Amino acid sequence: MGHYTPPIRDMQFVLHELLEVEKHYAPMPAHSEVSRELIDQVLEEGGKFCSQVLFPLNRSADEEGCTLSGDGVVTTPKGFREAWKQFVAGQWPSLSCDPAFGGQGLPHTVQTAFQEMMNASCQAFTMYPGLTHGAYQCLVRHGSPEQQRLYLPRLVSGEWTGTMCLTEAHCGTDLGLLRSRAVAQADGSYSISGSKIFISSGEHDLSENIVHLVLARLPDAPPGSRGISLFIVPKFLPDGEGKPGARNAVKASRIEEKMGIHANSTCQMEFDGATGWMVGEANRGLVAMFVMMNGARLGVGLQSLGLMDAAYQQSAAYARDRTQGRALTGAKAPDKPADPIIVHPDVRRMLLTQRAWTEGCRALAYWIAFMIDRYEHDPDEEVRKECTDLVALLTPIVKAFTTDNGFQSTVLAQQVFGGHGYIRESGMEQYVRDARINMIYEGTNTIQSLDLLGRKVLGDNGAKLRKLGALIAALVEEEGTNEAMAEFINPLADLAGRIEKLTTEIGMKALQNPDEAGAAAVDYLRVIGHLVLSYLWARMAKVALAKADEPFYAAKLTVARFYFAKLQPETSSLMRTVRSGAASLMELEAELF
């Protein structure tokens, strides 16, 4: 199945040369002692764990999957329990968590880089701690002091894991339709009843307890999403010492048979009068759960980032080794019966597309993680506000744009392998299968597009988008007369101007017919995704130009040029389809489909 080499050098480029994280951490009391040396050490050790412990499990765990016994007990694939013990022993679950709860207090950006490597090594395994960290974040923001004291240290240590239980068979995106019920008990707890489906990591044998965060409705709750409350429902009820006690009335009734991520136990969960405790205020559960949901959307983007990097590495290695045919310009390996397929222009197109998406989306993921660090810890209130708005704007882009590109990249990697990519032995077909879910769960990519256009852009009359525009304008102003940067700055400036006009047009049309926004949303998000990547690739090119005589930076410039020449022009056709409007989509009567 090949091998995985953690992309430490490119991670260092993004963190230290593009974002210059240590310079900005210096005035933050929480991160003032975080040095480049510390970050690099964490990346090196994290890379060893991922490549040496997790990656060797990826294929065998996919083939074995999880098993459910008749009494609702789930067994994870061979090697997972041992890997979890090493994961916990290395204190990896606590990396970016608050020291008040046993965490190491490292920046979110460092956690993001480690999470990318975990996903590249084994996405299904990474989902277990990923959901746990989401539960941790939710309880940090909305849990009571008592709940935080009981649950957070155990989630941080990896002794316990977490889930989020939202989806029901009749409602996915529209959570206002959920039917799970919560009835108050005399002791202050609640009796939770209902059925949830598609619950990632819902039941397993990795940790001694599982903390379910469950959305349910009180008897007197108002209809719709305004009547949803959030509850902690542990698998085992904690005893007086906080240790797992009696088994709660919650169990897995089935494991979903699914296309990919077989080694993650995606369960249907039954709550039969289970004991739970409310998190936050009654009927305000969706607000609390959005902390976890937004974190999960960024996490899903990292899942695809990891997959596309692992797939790229293996397809590039294969293209250098596989011999088929001769180069159109003459034999490049005359000592062999054929040339390596990397000599062919279209193979190079596929490889460069993968690489441009991978390196561009890595910069995007780390940039938004860096802004999360800044809105949480920067001493400047204006910086915190700007970063908060930009994170809100970019979250649906990280989720949708990265996962769309991730799926495309894994398919291209499979194509490079040809017939060998279609069979199991190479591992490429698993990357394709695993990558497909990322475009669907945690809010489909269409939902992300509607959120971006409807809420994040039109909803505030473009205020957040203008903040992104101001960053782009500043870069254009700074480099506009630099001839060496013209090939990057000119297409960036042109795209920014065209998007400003396009956004105004969509807004005016949507005032007359809201379906116009719905028809434009998916293509519009992709255009904005290109705007963000154009900005980041231009910034990366600026750094690389100063050291262009070194191979690493020369390669970075080549990939930047490829992005602007071959990928960014997609925006012109996308803008044309946006402007075509909703009529051709909506005029056909439903019964004629």
Task: Pick the closest to residue 458 from 400, 379, 387, 514 (CA basis).
Answer: 514
What are the CA-CA distances from residue 513 to residues 366, 516, 576 (Å)? 37, 6, 19
Residue with token string 């993004």: 14
Tell me the residue type at 434: D
CA distance 471 to 535: 9
Beta bridge partners of 216: 229
What are the CA-CA distances from residue 469 to residues 47, 69, 380, 390 (Å)? 36, 55, 21, 11
Task: Pick the closest to residue 275 from 375, 369, 148, 182 (CA basis).
Answer: 182
Q: Yes or no: say if 494 and 548 are a contact pair by the CB < 8 Å rule.
A: no
Structure tokens at 147: 């709940």
Q: Yes or no: say if 588 and 525 are a contact pair by the CB < 8 Å rule.
A: no
Three-state helix/strand/coil letters over 164-207: EECCECCECCCHHHCCCEEEECCCCCEEEEEEEEEECCCCCCCC
Catalytic residue check, 442? yes
CA distance 395 to 15: 19
Residue with token string 């598609």: 198
Active-site residue, from 429, 442, 479, 516: 442
Structure tokens at 20: 């210059």
Burial of 400 (0-12, 13-18, 19+ CB in 10 A): buried
Q: Yes or no: say if 355 and 7 are a contact pair by the CB < 8 Å rule.
A: no
Residue 20 DSSP code? -
- As annotated, the active-site residues are 442
